[in-house]
Amino acid sequence: GEDVEQSLFLSVREGDSSVINCTYTDSSSTYLYWYKQEPGAGLQLLTYIFSNMDMKQDQRLTVLLNKKDKHLSLRIADTQTGDSAIYFCAESIGGNTPLVFGKGTRLSVIA
């Protein structure tokens, strides 16, 4: 079955790096995603990684994928107060099937 697990809370100081972790169970996952949700808003796609990649970097964001351990992480460098939000990890097995979402990690950035 499919299941995505995330820790619920993370608190960091402004300027530090944040690392949000996610584990998934479906070994046939083709894409893994990170979304950001600000209060009262919809989900915003941050980045995604194809399952044959180990790492993807996009400005302050670095995604690491350990396929053997089914572990995905999102690192945010130089975390700012505007990064405070809920971050969702999601997996897909392809073919326009619905994504399976984790419960989200609430990131709080302390000034």
Partner 1 sequence: DGGITQSPKYLFRKEGQNVTLSCEQNLNHDAMYWYRQDPGQGLRLIYYSQIVNDFQKGDIAEGYSVSREKKESFPLTVTSAQKNPTAFYLCASSPSGVREEIDTQYFGPGTRLTVL
> Binding residues for partner 1, per CB under 8 A?
8, 30-31, 33, 35, 40-45, 48, 50, 88, 90, 92, 94-99, 101-104
SS3 letters across the chain: CCCEEECCEEEEECCCCEEEEEEECCCCCCEEEEEEECCCCCEEEEEEEECCCCEEEECCEEEEEECCCCEEEEEECCCCHHHCEEEEEEEECCCCCCCEECCCEEEEEEC
In whole angstroms, how close is the CB of 36 to partner 1 at the nearest point?
Answer: 11
Nearer to partner 1, 39 or 82 (CB): 39
In whole angstroms, how close is the CB of 59 to partner 1 at the nearest point?
Answer: 19
Nearer to partner 1, 1 or 111 (CB): 1
Nearer to partner 1, 51 or 62 (CB): 51
In whole angstroms, how close is the CB of 99 to partner 1 at the nearest point?
Answer: 6
